[in-house]
Structure 1
């Protein structure tokens, strides 16, 4: 299927973290479908390799990399592997993340769970952006898509308490604004995607719970949960020339939740 030139990613090199499952797999496939070669990074080596195989079915080159984004040394090696294989880095989808393992109000929330979520969802975004930007600044161009959440722009407890996730995603939102400003004159655009409820495994088995599904469906003005592949269009928009005059912004894709 032909696509407008403004959305064409032919010749671009993309790196997707958390590419082994959920929205990460969708991001990797979407960028490959738009013409990019894709580095598929995940803490699960087998999952990264499986997504890389999916990318190759689009006729694109792929590289599977194993990395824990909460470890800066592994992030450094991940970016180095990207440039060693492809010579450049044009698009980063800063997607790797985890949810609160045991959602509870703060007075009952585990400090161990707090630090684990912050380490991955915030520190991981910082480390990955830091090392990707070092490459992009040298090139004089690049796109960074930080994957935040609608819960980075509003509190979640009208539905359920997830304090660590909400805090981390709120920080990612403002980090995106900061990076957008810092690199606005460097040919680099930094924006964030803020998804609402998408049917993935991030929430563990929550989507198998009919009461949970009923609650979030009722909370969403469109009256449904998004399918994971519905994230593809917004991702390609932010990765492509279509968003060249957009930086430091949040693209909310939540079925209308934050319009309330």
Structure 2
């Protein structure tokens, strides 16, 4: 078989793979949400505003909530809110320093000893101020290491990891890179175990006065979308959706179209580079 024939077969195989992948994606999108009734869910960063909403939505889906946060008082407030809405005993609060490996692993063992299983793990702890890349990754990694292997051994579970960004096109944050890298690594290691991983990207916009509507979603709306994606076992969800569509359009047209709106969106249009003239130099006419 000649080289040209092999190349044609390779292209045909790639095309077939793309078709199969697209068809599979459509099937996944059409899949209805799974029930979470009676499952145990652990949410890190449960004392933050988004973490609190995620925990509340999971409780409304029938989960028993374990609210974990560096600040035990904030975690307790979340648990109290859930217990008031859903019923006594629906949630509990635990304190854990995400940067302390031994503390996190002890907490994981204690949770598994008490509840025998954690079915849903939500990594929603906000970026840690002043933490370097290693610390940002470790804060997520040790929680996952303490709980995900038990999910795989049991034959199923769900992980939702939240990435927060300022805007599409900006340089990715350390927190986002670390979280996304952890999800990618876990996805490879957990193939065939029944554990699904959902990476959720939340973008923020501070330009609500633009003629193009850029919705600044509330934490309640974001939590609702993320939990829906988790229940459908989506691998990725980006919020809000509309600006990312327009960003793609503007990026493809900015060389031939008016870029004023694109610039106003604070997306990825690079700033013009100007070089200062050497001292004492005279501009040529």
TM more than 0.5 = yes
1:41 aligns with 2:68: yes
Superposed, 1:117-156 pairs within 5 Å as: 117-118=132-133, 121-150=136-165, 154-156=169-171
Contact conserved, 1:149 with 1:195, CA < 8 A, in 2?
Answer: yes
* Structure-1 residue corresponding to 2:83: 56
Contact conserved, 2:164 with 2:175, CA < 8 A, in 1?
Answer: no
* Structure-2 residue corresponding to 1:217: 208
Give the drift of 1:119: 5.1
Structure 1, unpaired ranges of 5+: 102-112, 157-164, 198-212
Measured in 2, the distance between the counterparts of 1:152 and 1:178 equals 25
1:66 aligns with 2:86: no
1:183 aligns with 2:190: yes
Find 1:253's aligned residue among 231, 236, 239.
239
Find 1:85's aligned residue among 97, 114, 136.
114
1:173 aligns with 2:180: yes
TM-score by length of 1: 0.73
Contact conserved, 2:54 with 2:224, CA < 8 A, in 1?
Answer: no
The CA deviation string for residues 75-116 of structure 1, in whole angstroms up to 9 with x for no partner, is 1122223223322100000111226x5xxxxxxxxxxx2xx1
Contact conserved, 1:7 with 1:236, CA < 8 A, in 2?
Answer: no
Measured in 2, the distance between the counterparts of 1:223 and 1:152 equals 11
Measured in 2, the distance between the counterparts of 1:129 and 1:32 equals 21
> Residues 125 and 152 (structure 1 numbering): CA distance in 2 closer, same or farther, change over 3 Å?
farther
* Structure-2 residue corresponding to 1:23: 50
* Structure-1 residue corresponding to 2:258: none
> Residues 93 and 218 (structure 1 numbering): CA distance in 2 closer, same or farther, change over 3 Å?
farther
Give the drift of 1:154: 4.0
Find 1:96's aligned residue among 119, 122, 125.
125
Structure 2, unpaired ranges of 5+: 1-30, 248-285
Contact conserved, 1:98 with 1:117, CA < 8 A, in 2?
Answer: no
Give the drift of 1:130: 1.2
> Residues 16 and 117 (structure 1 numbering): CA distance in 2 closer, same or farther, change over 3 Å?
farther
Contact conserved, 1:30 with 1:235, CA < 8 A, in 2?
Answer: no
- Partner of 1:184, secondary structure, is coil
Larger Rg: 2
What RMSD, in angstroms, separates the aligned Cα atoms of the two structures?
2.6
TM-score by length of 2: 0.67
Choose between structure 1 and 2 for higher RCO, CA contacts under 8 A separated by at least 6 residues: 1
Range with greater deviation from structure 2 (171-180 or 12-21): 171-180
- Partner of 1:9, secondary structure, is coil
